[in-house]
Amino acid sequence: MRLLIAAIRWPPETFLLRLIDGLTQAGVAVTVGSANRPTGIADRLDWLPMPTWDAPVPPRLMRLAGMAIRAGLCGTSDLSGFRPFARRSRAFRKHLQAWNQLLPYAGRRWDLIYFPWNSAAIAHLPVFDLPTPVVVSCRGTQVSVAPHNPERAGIRDGLRATFERAAMVHCVSEATLKEAFQLGLVPAKAKVIRPAVDPVAFCPGCTRAEKAGNLHVVTTGTLIWRKGHEWALSAIRLLKDRGVQVQFDIIGDGPDRQRVLYTVQDLELQDCVRLHGQLDPQLVLTHLQLADAFLLSSLSEGLSNAVLEAMACGIPVVTTDCGGMREAVTDGVEGFVVPLRNAEALAKALQVLAGDRSLRERMGLAGRARIVREFGLTHHVKQWLELLHSLLRGKAKARN
């Protein structure tokens, strides 16, 4: 099977790297379409250069001319299909930029093409007209948040167009699937495959020592508004006001870093909140293994990979009831599920964990067991292989 995973950055997000690694180990011939040459597992990958549009003008135009010559020799029929899309914009620069996106595909063939992101699929809409089945992933915010943003008014039509043309649409949770149905996805094209984590790589550390009532809470993720950090910090403030000794580690970086820092100062939490920025994966694992609880205060999620990693490390989770989080965390079993935008509910759940070490241990064990049972990487890759092979069988039947 020859699979193109298109329009991604390298290195990719951890969950996507796990999938690529698993597929290649299963014998799939994976080509990665990215601006940067793949590293790490590159010996098992082919590379399709997909240059960005931010290089200096002379090399950018020379590169574009080279791609155009190759496409003219190898993919004239593809160029005919791409031309109407590229000419939609009257601005000459936008016209060239569209060709820069599409020319890498001309004259090349794979058995299947996979876009892990809705936005990338929309930007490469003419690729759906190639004689190759296309799979698209829906990961949460691109169907639950973006379509409601007035500044992204065209995304609804774009999503509908990709749903209509895709051979299959993968959703990371049942909640994301329901959102996609409202935007035009039909059940016959839909497949839910939840995220996965490697329970060997993410595992409990040494037995945590009792810390005289000090609750060590951790969260990981990009510092953006939809992660709801202000409610998490307000919950930590409530805990301190109630006499709970707490340490809160925030791992990750992003555009809202300054706002998070200001909130820490406004709430006078400098003594117990630490912003670590982006950390090496091994350091992230160490923080998870040393923590007493993981906190997810998000306003929107598909199904949080960070929560799954925390559960695999054997720590209880306090999460907001967003997206598909109830599909991974049962309230009162692996942790607590609380309403959105509710610092009091977050604080109450954390306070219960702070006062009951045996409960933390039971919930941590339950979370670890659920990961091994339902969210293991082997099962995840198997589901993807079944999806891809089913599309190949359908392609063969259509040809016959």
Same fold yes or no, 2-50+111-196+377-399 and 215-374: yes
DSSP E strand stretches across the chain: 2-8, 29-34, 45-49, 112-115, 134-138, 168-171, 190-192, 215-220, 246-251, 273-277, 293-296, 317-320, 335-338
List pLDDT tens digits, range 197-222: 999 999 998 755 554 458 999 999 99
**End-to-end CA gap in the chain:** 19
Strand order in the sheet with 215-220: 273-277, 246-251, 215-220, 293-296, 317-320, 335-338
Average pLDDT over residues 388-393: 94
What per-residue confidence (pLDDT) applies to 249? 98
List pLDDT tens digits, range 335-387: 999 999 999 999 999 999 999 999 999 999 999 999 999 999 999 999 999 99
What per-residue confidence (pLDDT) applies to 366? 98
Q: What are phi and psi of 284, to 5 degrees?
A: -60, -45
What per-residue confidence (pLDDT) applies to 7? 95
Comparing 107-121, 133-147, 156-170, 185-199, the range with the smallest average pLDDT is 133-147
Centroid of chain to Cα 140: 8
Residue 20: strand, helix, or coil: helix
What per-residue confidence (pLDDT) applies to 400? 64
Q: What single-letter DSSP state applies at residue 277?
A: E
Does the structural domain 215-374 have CATH classification 3.40.50.2300?
A: no
List pLDDT tens digits, range 3-55: 999 999 999 998 999 999 999 999 999 999 999 999 877 778 999 999 888 87
Could you say which architecture CATH assigns to the domain 2-50+111-196+377-399?
3-Layer(aba) Sandwich (3.40)
Q: Are 316 and 337 in contact (CB under 8 A)?
A: no
Please state, rounded to an integer, the average pLDDT across all residues of the chain: 92
Average pLDDT over residues 107-121: 95
- List of residues 6+ apart from 296 with CB closer than 8 A: 219, 221, 304, 306, 307, 317, 318, 319, 320, 325
Q: Where are the domains of the chain?
A: 2-50+111-196+377-399, 215-374
What per-residue confidence (pLDDT) applies to 187? 95
What CA–CA distance (Å, rounded) separates 358 from 91? 64
Q: Are 64 and 97 in contact (CB under 8 A)?
A: no
Element (H, E) at 107: none
What per-residue confidence (pLDDT) applies to 54? 83
Report the length, in residues, of the chain. Answer: 400
Q: Are 31 and 5 in contact (CB under 8 A)?
A: yes
What DSSP line would sit under 162-220, residue for residue?
A: HHHH-SEEEESSHHHHHHHHHTT--GGGEEE----B-TTTS---SPPPP-TT-EEEEEE
